């Protein structure tokens, strides 16, 4: 098991995202049903539900940007799966 450490920059970015979420309140889909966004592989059918819930979220873009930049390898963030985020990072590097 690999243990990840957070950089000070990542901690600051997380705090900004958390503050934005606090401003929106408990109506965020990820706060209403957090398990939906971190389903196991055997619960793959929840992925589509989580992505659809993200479509309505006002924090979809900053959430996805955070997850892409800081290599969140688990869960649905901003409507993206871990595989989608990995492809987006590769695409950015190849430009």
* pLDDT of 95 over the 80 cut: no
Given a contact cutoff of 8 angstroms between Cβ atoms, the answer to whether 75 and 37 are in contact is: yes
pTM of this prediction?
Answer: 0.86
Tokens of 83: 């595989």
What single DSSP character describes residue 73? -
Q: 60-69 and 82-93 helices cross at what angle (nearest 10)?
A: 70
Residue ranges with strand state E in 1-95: none
Query: Can you spell out the DSSP letters for 10-26?
Result: HHHHHHHHHHHHHHH-T
Q: What is the pLDDT of residues 7-60, one digit of tens each?
A: 999 999 999 999 999 999 989 999 999 999 998 877 888 999 999 999 999 999
């Amino acid at each position: 098991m690999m243990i990840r450490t957070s950089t000070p920059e990542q901690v600051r970015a997380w705090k900004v995202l958390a503050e934005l979420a606090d401003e929106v309140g408990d109506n965020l889909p990820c706060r209403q049903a957090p398990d939906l966004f971190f389903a196991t592989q055997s619960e793959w059918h929840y992925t589509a539900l989580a992505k659809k819930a993200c479509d309505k979220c006002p924090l979809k873009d900053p959430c996805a940007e955070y997850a892409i930049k800081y290599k969140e390898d688990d869960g649905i963030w901003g409507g993206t799966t871990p595989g989608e985020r990995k492809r987006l990072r590769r695409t950015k590097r190849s430009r």
